Structure 1
Amino acid sequence: MIKQFKQDAALVFGLLTMVIFFTIGDNWLADLSDHSVAIGLFIWLLITMLWCAFKVVRHADALAVKLGEPYGTLVLTLTVTVIEVSLIAAVMLTGNANPLLARDTMMAVVMIVMNGLVGASLLLGGLKHSEQEYQLEGTRAFLTVITPLVVIALVLPSFTTSTTEATYTTGQQMLFGLMTIVLFGVFLAMQTIQQKHYFVQPIAAQLHHQAGESSRRHLDNHGVVYHTLMLLVTITPIVLLSKKLGVIMDFGTVELQLPVALGGIIIAAIVLTPEGLAALKAARNNKLQRSINICLGSVLATIGLTVPAVLTISLFAGQPVTLGLGPTGIVLIILTLFSAALTFGGTKTSVLQGAVHLALFFMYLILIFAP
């Protein structure tokens, strides 16, 4: 009984915090003039979300062992992305719509994941294992779909002339949204049915940790349904509370005169924490393919699900959506995609590639403060 309570303590605390902040918490957030109160609420929310994130990773790891790759990481990736889309949709429909919300969110996800998380994973894995192996075909499939979708979603609208802003026309939105869904569906079919062996860790590295996985499978008495439900429930407070944390972040950026985009980046980083922790843990355990599946799968799912959802809401709700990036963002996106193609152009990675991607991530952060 005590052991079960310890395992579910994060979930109970997360749900209780969520109930409090969605009832009486609005009164606290309405007046943050007392800085000690604002700092206290910020620490409370941050600890709650990070605690839940560690538990999400535990359930995701259990699913990865029970379902095998790529199904285990796919559950985690789709869960996070669907809730992200729901959160963006909720904000768009509240009446305080920000036409740059979807663009900034997708940009943050691409830069945090493809440079921050990929760089940290390659660096951590390279420091411990020198070189790491992965499936070239599976990673190339990710980049083959990610590259055109990211460019069409975030770069091309800045160069079209059908509208005065960096947007698409109604017809272009419908066609692009449909194309995105089709490509995402084709990729999922390839990943889970036709060529799923492309997304499995190479045998040499897989055997290295086979005994450890067998031990965990034996000790875990819960089934797939249990871990799936617990993952869904535990991840909900992380994403929903991120909106409340965003209120405090917005207040802090105004008070400290920080860049407005910084708050969105911090929120995106917290929402991505479960996937980030899982990716870093996989790389450290010499399971680079699982780390790649999580990172690149997160970017693909974000573009593949967020873009159609945002464009659909824009059409039916009459909310304008600006997708095109400015010159600085375009250069960073193109450089990120080009570097990813070079990084995953062979069958092994090392510390060098990780350092390059982290350098790009730090450049992205620097340009937020000094564009």
Structure 2
Amino acid sequence: MPASALLRDTFTPASIFRLALGWGSFLALVLLRPLLAAPLATPVLWLVLAAIVVVITVSAFGVVTEAEHLARRLGDPYGTLVLTLSIVLIEVILISAVLLGPGEHPTIARDSVMAVSMIILNLVIGVALIVGGLRHGALRANRTGVFTYLALLVVLLATAFAFPALIGVDGEYTPGQAIPIAILTLLLYAFFLIRQMGAQREDFQEVSPVAGGAAAARVDIRLVLVEHRGELIARTTLLVATVTPIVLLSHDMAALLDDALDRAGAPVALSGILIAMIVFLPETITTIRAAYTGELQRVSNLCHGALVSTVGLTIPAVLVIGMLTGQPIVLGESAAALTLLAVTLLLTFATFAGRRVSALHGAAHLMLFAIYGIVVFA
């Protein structure tokens, strides 16, 4: 493809609008920062916060759009991994921005990752299974790949939420514990990526042709990198340029969100839930679209893979930030939350252990998400 045509195809009016919106909003906040530093009237505070959330959400859709283009070009599991890491990067950035911002937020990482776990494992999976099950009757996943994700999630989620409460101090890992935990978590996640992209890549591909389509062709990733180098560089550049305003805006959003929820008397965990919902909205839509077309393994790659990446990257990041800044990082969860998480993992095993997955499984997951809401607001 000629360079001019490639640039027109990559830098579309929509992508340029998202870039202008993100960077323009950041510049506007820089100019208005002296005014925002003073206490704002509550209606104005919520208005500014809502505007920032809208910009971050629109920019996040742009990130997902470019990641999806890369995903289609690279094929699975590489493509889905690009999309997942793009979303998880935003999540880690937002949590880090809160920790590095004004005030202390000792439970923001715990609340955010717990919210992500419940949203992905119950809400998104539940809706996706209902949509896919009602349209196709029953769906089939690659059980080897799904159970690989779940094996990692059992270890990672226990490391994130259960062990700090059992061996830590007041729900925190001690410095002597935090260092090896961060290193071990990163090593496990890195080993997972190596296996997923290498010897075990077929475990994360569809087990049968998608309804109405043909089986996916096997992609030679080295050939793709050579033949489509220009497109890959252009779209990666656009992805980075689109995600950067999210990074810059997240600091202001964190401070305003903390003030707004404090005034509203909302539960502390609601901040983490809102961050998770903002970040994973675009990927949720992508997941439901995959379920609608009958790609259940892509649903698993997007959801379970995203959660593995979230825990595998967020926990080491916040532990390092805590050690460098001296901030307390409380990860230990309550008995109710740990019970809910354990039941969710058991339900996930039960859902994907059978030969077929149906809409009824999705309804069970949605009920657990509703119970999570009761636990948060109780």
TM-score tier, shorter chain, comes to 0.7 to 0.9
Alignment of 1:1-371 (within 5 A): 4-25=12-33, 27-28=35-36, 30-35=38-43, 37-94=44-101, 96-160=103-167, 163-205=168-210, 208=213, 223-238=231-246, 240-370=248-378
SS of alignment partner, residue 353 of structure 2 = coil
Letter in 2 for 1:68: G
- In structure 2, the gaps of 5 or more residues are 1-7, 217-227
Give, in whole Å, the separation in 1 of the partners of 2:48 and 2:106: 28
Are the equivalent residues in 1 in contact too, given 2:72–2:79 (CA < 8 A)? yes
What's the offset of the Cα at 1:209?
A: 6.4
Q: For the residues of structure 1 that align with 2:105 and 2:256, how far apart are their CA atoms?
A: 18
Distance (Å, rounded) in 1 between the aligned partners of 2:15 and 2:345: 40
Shift of the 292–30 alpha-carbon distance from structure 1 to 2, 3 Å rule, reads: farther
Aligned residue for 2:224? Answer: none
Paired residue total: 360
Aligned-partner Cα distance in 1 for 2:283–2:109:
20
Q: Deviations over 1:104-152 (max 9, x none)?
A: 1211111111112111211221122221222111111101111111012
5+ residue gaps in structure 1? 212-219
Structure 2 residue matching 1:229: 3-state secondary structure: helix
Going from structure 1 to structure 2, the CA distance change for 1:68 and 1:147 (only over 3 Å counts) comes to same
CA shift digits 1:4-45 (9 cap, x unpaired): 32442122212211222244256236433151x334324423
Decide whether the 8 Å contact of 1:115 with 1:336 is kept in 2: yes
Give the conservation status (yes or no) of the 8 Å contact 2:49–2:256.
yes
**Inter-partner Cα distance in structure 2 for 1:173 and 1:203:** 43
RMSD across aligned C-alpha pairs, in angstroms?
Answer: 2.7
- Residues 84 and 239 of structure 1 are in contact (CA less than 8 Å); yes or no, is this contact kept in structure 2? no
Distance 1:44 1:316 in 2: 32
Q: Structure 1 residues 321 and 51, CA, compared in 2 at 3 Å: closer, same or farther?
A: closer
Q: Distance in 1 between matches of 2:42 and 2:144?
A: 55
Which one-letter code corresponds to 1:166 in the other structure? G
Deviation at 1:210, TM superposition (A): 6.9
CA drift of 1:207 comes to 6.2
Once residues 88 and 23 of structure 1 are traced to their aligned partners in structure 2, the CA distance between those partners, rounded to angstroms, is 24
TM-score, scaled relative to structure 1: 0.87
Letter in 2 for 1:120: V
Note if contact 2:165-2:171 (Cα within 8 Å) is conserved in structure 1: yes
Q: Percent identity?
A: 35
Q: CA deviation at 1:70?
A: 0.8
Q: Matched residue of 2:194: which SS?
A: helix
Alpha-carbon shift at residue 79 of structure 1 (Å):
2.4
Aligned-partner Cα distance in 2 for 1:184–1:6 = 35
After superposition, what is the alpha-carbon deviation per residue over 1:280-300, rounded to whole angstroms, capped at 9, x for unaligned?
221122222112111111111
The structural deviation recorded for 1:239 is: 5.1
Moved more, 336-345 or 316-325: 316-325
Q: State the TM-score, normalized to the length of structure 2.
A: 0.86
